[in-house]
Amino acid sequence: MIRVIYRWRVEPENFQKFKEAWSVATNHIHETVPGALGSFMLRSRESDCEVLTVAKWDSVASWKNFWGNAKPVEMEEMRKLGERTSVEAFDEIEDYTR
């Protein structure tokens, strides 16, 4: 398993629409893309412009297959509402969340 952390800069006035676009995109990806295992969103308590979306994938290969040209169409609306500032993949070592 891997987790992919996407860091976004989203202006407060765009946050609600960004959240809605993320919800549509992440649910579509989870339902239609092999290896996609869902995602969650975090918003900084210190900077309301900083948003993280954390996706879970069954493997690096599945994620890279989806990622393709680095601008997946499923995330197009999100890119209109916020600036993706970084993407980084991490190996999942342990997960004790419920």
Domain contains 96? no
Domain holding 49, by residue range, is: 2-91
pLDDT by 10s per residue, the chain, length 98: 999 999 999 999 999 999 999 999 999 999 999 999 999 999 999 999 999 999 999 999 999 999 876 678 888 999 999 999 999 999 999 999 88
pLDDT on residue 4: 96
Inside any domain, residue 47: yes
- The CATH number assigned to the domain holding 81 equals 3.30.70.100
pLDDT value at residue 69? 63
**43: in domain:** yes
According to DSSP, residue 74 is labeled G
Q: How far apart are CA 33 and CA 66, in angstroms?
A: 7
In a domain, 70, yes or no: yes
Domain count, the chain: 1
pLDDT score recorded for residue 74:
85
From the list 38, 72, 42, 43, the residue with the least C-alpha distance to 55 is 38
Residue 59 in tokens: 């493997």
- Both tokens assigned to 96: 């004790």
